[in-house]
């Protein structure tokens, strides 16, 4: 008798890390963290693929913001709202994007794993600060379904 293991039909995750105005910023599909520190808030791959912001706990307090649209991907304009003070928002407006890496491999029983990496420049609007321009390392991750493939 075989055991079935749970799996998702497909996975789509994305996020970025960078700094603006003396603050570190890391965001993904589920949240954005903002902290006054020089240390990064985590590894980009861990933040994107696993939602792992555990490194942020080591750098001190961070403000958490939630996305207004968690299904838009790395859209040209993204808005995050503070999780406890809805009047505080961070708006990221993409000014430029350059693809720095791409991989497309077959993994996990005939599924495609597609990873794209970018350097993106955003106009960052934060509460109580003038808008500024900042560079971010970004990643878009997709794990597709088998799409009818038969693999051996």
Whole-structure pTM value:
0.85
Residue with tokens 């207004």: 68
Token digits of residue 64: 């958490």
Asked whether 34 and 65 are in contact (CB, 8 A), the reply is yes
Strand partners, 115: 103, 141
Tokens in use for 85? 């003070």
Beta bridge partners of 35: 24
Q: Write down how long the chain is.
A: 152
| pLDDT at position 51 | 78
Longest dimension (CA), the chain: 63
Average pLDDT over residues 33-49: 87
Tokens for 65?
A: 């913001």
What long-range pairs does 33-36 form, CB within 8 A, spacing at least 24? 33/62, 33/63, 33/64, 33/65, 34/62, 34/63, 34/65, 34/90, 34/126, 35/59, 35/60, 35/61, 35/62, 35/63, 36/60
Highest mean pLDDT among 7-11, 46-50, 133-137: 133-137
Q: What is the rounded average pLDDT of the residues 101-112?
A: 85
Residue 47 phi, psi dihedral angles, 5° rounding: -65, -40
53-97 pLDDT, tens digit per residue, is 776 667 767 889 999 988 888 999 999 999 999 999 999 999 999
Average pLDDT over residues 15-36: 91
pLDDT at 101 over 60: yes
């Amino acid at each position: 008798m075989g055991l079935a293991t749970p799996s998702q039909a497909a996975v789509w995750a994305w996020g970025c890390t960078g700094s603006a105005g003396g603050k570190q910023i890391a965001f993904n599909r589920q949240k954005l963290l903002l902290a006054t520190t020089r240390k990064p808030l985590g590894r980009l791959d861990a933040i994107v693929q696993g939602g792992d912001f555990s490194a942020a706990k080591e750098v001190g307090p961070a403000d958490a913001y939630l996305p207004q649209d968690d299904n838009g991907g790395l859209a040209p304009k993204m808005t995050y709202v503070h999780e406890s003070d809805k009047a505080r928002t961070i708006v990221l407006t993409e000014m430029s994007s350059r693809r720095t890496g791409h991989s497309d491999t077959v993994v996990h029983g005939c599924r495609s794993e597609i990873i794209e990496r970018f350097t993106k420049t955003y106009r960052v609007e934060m509460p109580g600060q003038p808008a500024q321009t900042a560079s971010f390392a970004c990643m878009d991750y997709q794990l597709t379904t088998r799409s009818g493939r038969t693999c051996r």
